[in-house]
């Protein structure tokens, strides 16, 4: 999506990520090297872009280096490094996640001034509030908008563009839980499956996941107080 938005006709700078013989490749900065960030980096590397991945977990960076086979630069995420990366990048992918909390705002509006006009921000973390200050959710019908000359792509349900693939992938992971709920009922299923119990955010109208309750200003009620015998 970022490569598409970088095309001139789609509002971008008009840069081909892979470059051509005699013309250097485009630069991609991926903020957050988890599942999304790794896959974005892998595709960008495949397009022969010059790729940087920033994460703040040393363990994750140790994993990423061999996973990307040295074909991307993996660096520690801090304000200085983010500023340097976005000022050089043609495309920035926001892929950070802090479990159970809103995404941290890694790029402020002021920092857009460091970027090259027509460069592109893809905020994948938009479903958790977005990791760029200027992000707001968009849809596939109108996926991009511009702020201070920077193209923003902030579709909150990116997998919805490829439902044949994404629905099958999601169902592979979720169907066992659906079957457990169908067999044993909701209370029975959470009683007998700790993983499912840990995934319950709301039950009987109560917020049963502490960070979500805190972030949304609701009281937190432990699941075990709603379902007798639920794992604590
Ligand atoms: N828009 C969409 O359609 C869509 C689709 C899939 C995922 N998402 C969202 O994308 C985000 C990433 O998902 P994921 O599965 O890759 O999560 P993940 O937990 O696998 O990875 C998140 C990474 O962010 C890193 N991180 C946290 N704070 C950071 C910081 N300040 N600087 C740099 N890195 C930091 C973590 O160390 C971790 O490696 C989530 O918010 C998820 O909900 C959105």
The pLDDT tens digits of the residues spanning 115-173 come to 999 999 999 999 988 999 999 999 999 999 999 999 999 999 999 999 999 999 999 99
Q: Is 35 in the pocket of ligand 1 (CB under 6 A)?
A: yes
Q: By the 8 A CB rule, do 149 and 118 touch?
A: yes
Q: Region 174-186: what's the mean pLDDT?
A: 95
- Helix axis angle, 35-46 to 58-67, nearest 10°: 30
pLDDT tens per residue across span 194-228: 999 999 999 999 999 998 899 889 999 999 999 99
State the pLDDT confidence band at 29, using cuts at 50, 70 and 90. very high
124 Cα–ligand 1 center, Å: 8
pLDDT surpassing 90 at residue 63: yes
Q: What confidence score (pLDDT) does residue 232 get? A: 77
Indicate the length of the chain as a whole number.
232
Q: What confidence score (pLDDT) does residue 230 get? A: 87
Q: By the 8 A CB rule, do 29 and 52 touch?
A: yes
Q: Is 63 in the pocket of ligand 1 (CB under 6 A)?
A: no
> Rounded distance, CA 144 to CA 151, Å?
7
pLDDT tens per residue across span 4-13: 999 999 999 9
Q: What confidence score (pLDDT) does residue 164 get? A: 97
Question: Considering only CA atoms, which residue is closest to atom 10 of ligand 1?
Answer: 125
Q: Is 135 in the pocket of ligand 1 (CB under 6 A)?
A: no
38 Cα–ligand 1 center, Å: 10
Q: What confidence score (pLDDT) does residue 212 get? A: 86
How crowded is residue 1: how many other Cβ atoms within 10 Å of its Cβ?
19
Given ligand 1 and candidates 96, 135, 136, which is best to mutate, with the most ligand atoms within 8 Å of its CB? 96
State the pLDDT confidence band at 100, using cuts at 50, 70 and 90. confident
Q: What confidence score (pLDDT) does residue 121 get? A: 98
Q: Is 34 in the pocket of ligand 1 (CB under 6 A)?
A: yes
Q: What confidence score (pLDDT) does residue 67 get? A: 95
Q: By the 8 A CB rule, do 106 and 43 touch?
A: no
Q: What confidence score (pLDDT) does residue 10 get? A: 96
What phi, psi does 52 have (nearest 5°)?
-120, 140
Q: Is 123 in the pocket of ligand 1 (CB under 6 A)?
A: no
Q: By the 8 A CB rule, do 92 and 15 touch?
A: no
Residue 110 DSSP SS3: helix
State the pLDDT confidence band at 107, using cuts at 50, 70 and 90. very high
Q: What is the mean pLDDT of the chain?
A: 95
Q: Is 226 in the pocket of ligand 1 (CB under 6 A)?
A: no
5 Cα–ligand 1 center, Å: 21
Q: Is 15 in the pocket of ligand 1 (CB under 6 A)?
A: no
Q: What confidence score (pLDDT) does residue 101 get? A: 73
> Rounded distance, CA 26 to CA 24, Å?
7
DSSP assignment of 187-202 equals HHHHHH-HHHHHT--E
pLDDT surpassing 90 at residue 229: no
Q: What confidence score (pLDDT) does residue 215 get? A: 83
Atom of ligand 1 nearest to the CA of 104: 31
Q: Region 9-28: what's the mean pLDDT?
A: 98
Name the one residue in this structure whose structure tokens are 């086979």.
69
Q: Is 154 in the pocket of ligand 1 (CB under 6 A)?
A: no
Residue 94 DSSP SS3: strand
Q: What is the pTM of this model?
A: 0.89
Atom of ligand 1 nearest to the CA of 37: 16
Q: By the 8 A CB rule, do 109 and 130 touch?
A: no
User: In degrees, to the nearest 5, what angle opens at C-alpha 135 toward C-alphas 218 and 79?
Assistant: 95
**What percent of the chain has pLDDT above 90?**
93
């Amino acid at each position: 999506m970022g490569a598409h938005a970088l095309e001139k006709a789609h509002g971008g700078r008009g840069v081909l990520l892979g470059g051509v013989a005699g013309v250097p490749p485009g630069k991609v900065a991926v903020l957050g090297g988890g599942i999304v960030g790794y896959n974005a980096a892998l595709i960008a590397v495949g397009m022969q872009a010059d790729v940087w991945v920033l994460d703040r977990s040393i363990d994750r960076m140790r994993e990423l280096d061999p996973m990307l086979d040295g074909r991307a630069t993996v660096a520690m995420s801090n304000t200085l490094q983010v500023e340097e990366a976005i000022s050089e990048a043609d495309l920035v992918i926001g892929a950070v996640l802090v479990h159970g909390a809103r995404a941290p705002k890694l790029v402020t509006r002021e920092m857009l001034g460091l970027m090259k006009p027509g460069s592109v921000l893809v905020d994948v973390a938009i479903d958790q509030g977005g990791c760029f200050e200027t992000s707001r959710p968009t849809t596939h019908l109108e996926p991009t908008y511009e702020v201070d000359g920077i193209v923003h792509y902030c579709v909150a349900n990116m997998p919805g563009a490829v439902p044949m693939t994404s629905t099958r992938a999601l169902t592979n992971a979720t169907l066992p839980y659906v079957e457990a709920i169908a067999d044993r009922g909701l209370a029975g299923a959470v009683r007998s499956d700790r993983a499912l119990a840990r995934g319950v955010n709301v039950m009987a109208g109560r917020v049963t996941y502490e960070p979500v309750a805190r972030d949304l200003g609701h009281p937190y009620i432990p699941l075990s107080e709603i379902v007798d015998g639920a794992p604590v």
